[in-house]
Amino acid sequence: MKWRRALGPLSLAAAVASASWSWSRLEALRSGEPAGAQVLYLPSGKYLKIISLGYPEVMADIIYIWSIQYYSNYDQSDRFKYLEHIYGGVISELDPRYVDPYLIGAVIMSTEANDDEMALRLLDKGIAANPDEWILPFDAGFLCYDRLKDYPRATRYFEMALESPGAPSVVKRLHAEMYNKMGDKRASLEYWKEVLEGADSDYVRNVSSMHVHDLTIEADLETLRRAVASWRSRYGGTPPDLQALARAGLTDSVPVDPEGNPYRYDRSTGEVTSQSRFKLRRRVGE
Amino acid sequence: MKTWAIATNTFREAIRDRILYLILVFAIVMIGSSRALSLLTVGSEEKIVKDIGLASISLFGVATAIFVGVGLVFKEIERRTVYTLVSKPIRRSQFILGKYLGLVLVLAVNVAVMTACFYGLLIAKGWMDFAITRAIVLIFAELMLVTAIAILFSSFSTPILSSLFTVTFYIIGHLSWGLLLLADRIQGELGRNVCRLLYRLLPNLEAMNVKGMVVHGIDVPPSQVVFACLYGAAYTVIVLALAVMIFRKRDFL
């Protein structure tokens, strides 16, 4: 009778041991495949939305949280295979207003998968679904500026960001700087002046005033050098002084630099330089 | 008074069945998920916590409405307690209405306590936004309709079949917009009209779903809440009237 009484607990212990052993065997069989990898093969979010029965946002949350764990697993060398599908085809379709996956997805695409165009496609999708979110075009603009060095494209994105409500002053600053990068010193100067006028902190006031200072000198030098070149082609030789350029109608006037010093002119070479030092360029080594 | 007596009795019965334990599960889900999210996610946890909170209120409510609702009338018939009731001067409409109100009362308590837990968490985290209340009001309107559907099926079918029918109605209610897409694809005028008619006839539970909107801070106009509540209430009355009509036809003697 005693062994009969022990039969129950023994069976239970055997069942627990079997379950534990078979579970570890199954885990060993799928070693190398990260947990939840089957999410990669999900159909488009358009179809998932139908079966979500009114809970597409929660479904998007779950897949987004999973995606962070999956894409931060560096043991998985081919993990970027379905990257665009997961962010652009599943999460953003389930919850188009969810901004974080656009931003994080774009970072993974750009810095991890080295596919900037894929990142921009995702951000474009996010911008179309969230026209009031300045961060999305800002992110796209920064990617074009920082990684692609495509300044005209970056400018377009920063302009989009500026049209969105709540865009912080950093967007204005980068927008102004893009014109400088494109070589349009005058336009950049005008935008930097706007930043200076609307400065909301000492930091912004300080930075923008240095940009205005340097760009004023650069723009003036550019104008004066162009006028000297026009003099050369019109009269041959160099002008006697900078005032001669104004008298000949090659410049509107002869400017002085932001510190009130006249620009230096070397008649023998026709070179125009500034007496005042650049405040920012020297500091950043340009 | 008779309806109210049945309603309070149904409420007590549900409490005895430990239905309110669901609230404990809800609290664990909410607190657990908010703790886990801080470890797992990148970006705003606020959106995910709000999504999970609203979805849990809705899901626990729907589960209660369906799985308690489908047994309400059937249990009375199976235990033969209905004989005692119908032999008394109680109208069958009062019986159905009493059962319905009893379960609605359970749901109201459930939703109220879950909402209080949810708001407590949001206030503690500094994420409180009272626009969420609009979504919860509409979740409750949806639960009232789902309860009525569960009672309708419970009035003539077994709990298993009633659960299946109610879950099917719940799914259809969230997919009925697909009929409009189907109508656009169908060539014949008759088929298109059938689709459009079905779209009008079947419950449109998506009309009461503004969870995504409130979480994303999109304004839900009060008129939308009022009309969705009105739609839900009117549909509930129709379904309950059907349940009463069917229950009246049943012969217990």
Classify residue A98 as exposed, middle or buried by CB count within 10 Å of its CB (0-12, 13-18, 19+).
buried
The ipTM is 0.81
- Confidence class for position A31, pLDDT limits 50, 70, 90: low
- Please indicate if any CB of chain A lies within 8 Å of the CB of B181: no
User: Of A71-75, A248-252, B123-127, which gets the smallest average pLDDT?
Assistant: A71-75
Q: Contact A100/B47, CB-based, under 8 Å?
A: yes
User: Of A127-136, B64-73, B163-172, which gets the smallest average pLDDT?
Assistant: B64-73
Residue position matching structure tokens 């340009």: A286
- pLDDT per position as a tens digit, A124-165: 999 999 999 999 999 999 999 999 999 999 999 999 999 998
Closest CB to B212 among A50, A65, A95: A95
Q: What is the pLDDT of residue A285?
A: 38
Residue position matching structure tokens 């023994």: A10
- Please indicate if any CB of chain A lies within 8 Å of the CB of B55: yes
From chain B residues 200-239, the ones with a CB under 8 A of any chain A CB are 205-206, 209, 211-212, 215-216, 218
Residue A141 in tokens: 């603009």
- Please indicate if any CB of chain B lies within 8 Å of the CB of A214: no
For A103, the closest chain B residue by CA position comes to B43
Please give the mean pLDDT across all residues of chain B. Answer: 88
- pTM for this predicted structure: 0.81
Q: Where are the alpha helices (DSSP H) in chain B?
A: 2-16, 21-40, 45-78, 81-86, 92-125, 132-154, 159-175, 178-185, 189-201, 211-215, 222-249
**B243: helix, strand or coil:** helix
d(CA B44, CA B52): 13
User: Of A40-54, B131-145, B171-185, which gets the smallest average pLDDT?
Assistant: A40-54
Query: What distance lies between CA B93 and its chain's CA centroid?
Result: 21
Query: What distance lies between CA B98 and its chain's CA centroid?
Result: 17
From chain A residues 99-118, the ones with a CB under 8 A of any chain B CB are 99-100, 103-104
What dotted CATH number matches A41-167?
1.25.40.10
The count of C-alpha atoms lying within 13 angstroms of the C-alpha of B227, restricted to the half-sphere facing its C-beta, is 9
How many A-B residue pairs are in contact by the CB < 8 A criterion?
52
Are the CB atoms for A213 and A204 separated by under 8 Å?
A: no
Query: What distance lies between CA B179 and its chain's CA centroid?
Result: 22
Q: What is the pLDDT of residue A3?
A: 73
Residue type, B67: F
Bigger pLDDT: B145 or B70? B145
The angle that helices B222-249 and B92-125 make with each other, rounded to 10 degrees, is 150
Residue position matching structure tokens 């970027």: A80
For B168, the closest chain A residue by CA position comes to A53
d(CA A43, CA A29): 26
A284 pLDDT more than 60 = no
Identify which of B173, B198, B214, B201 has the alpha carbon closest to the alpha carbon of residue B57.
B214
Please report residues of A whose CB lies closer than 8 A to that of B205: 54
A33 pLDDT more than 80 = no
Mean pLDDT of B64-84: 82
- pLDDT per position as a tens digit, A264-279: 999 889 899 998 888 8
Q: What is the pLDDT of residue A79?
A: 82
Identify which of A98, A60, A58, A86 has the alpha carbon closest to the alpha carbon of residue B209.
A58
Please report residues of A whose CB lies closer than 8 A to that of B58: 54-55
Bigger pLDDT: A37 or B42? B42
- Please indicate if any CB of chain B lies within 8 Å of the CB of A19: no
Q: What is the DSSP letter of A263?
A: P
Please report residues of A whose CB lies closer than 8 A to that of B143: none
Identify which of A79, A54, A81 has the alpha carbon closest to the alpha carbon of residue A68.
A79
Closest CB to B41 among A58, A65, A97: A65
Minimal CA separation from B45 to chain A, in Å: 10
- Please indicate if any CB of chain B lies within 8 Å of the CB of A35: no
Instruction: Name the residue ranges covered by the structural domains of chain A.
Output: 41-167
- Confidence class for position B147, pLDDT limits 50, 70, 90: very high
Could you tell me which residues are beta bridge partners of residue A265?
Answer: A272
B172 pLDDT more than 60 = yes
Query: What is the CB neighbour count within 10 angstroms for residue A74?
Result: 8
Please give the mean pLDDT across all residues of chain A. Answer: 89
Query: What distance lies between CA B104 and its chain's CA centroid?
Result: 9
Please report residues of A whose CB lies closer than 8 A to that of B210: none
Are the CB atoms for A195 and A173 separated by under 8 Å?
A: yes
d(CA B204, CA B178): 11
Minimal CA separation from B60 to chain A, in Å: 13
Bigger pLDDT: A285 or A84? A84
Distances (CA, A) of A261 to A69, A138, A239, B6: 60, 38, 20, 95
Q: Is B247 left (phi over 0), alpha (psi -120 to 50) or beta?
A: alpha
- Please indicate if any CB of chain A lies within 8 Å of the CB of B63: no
- Please indicate if any CB of chain B lies within 8 Å of the CB of A71: no
Please report residues of A whose CB lies closer than 8 A to that of B55: 55, 57-58
The angle that helices B21-40 and A56-71 make with each other, rounded to 10 degrees, is 40
Please report residues of B whose CB lies closer than 8 A to that of A99: 43
d(CA A132, CA A129): 9
Could you tell me which residues are beta bridge partners of residue A262?
Answer: A256
> Which of A44-58, A66-80, B140-154 has maximum average pLDDT?
B140-154
B27 pLDDT more than 80 = no
Q: What is the pLDDT of residue A50?
A: 80
Bigger pLDDT: A122 or B90? A122
d(CA A61, CA B108): 28
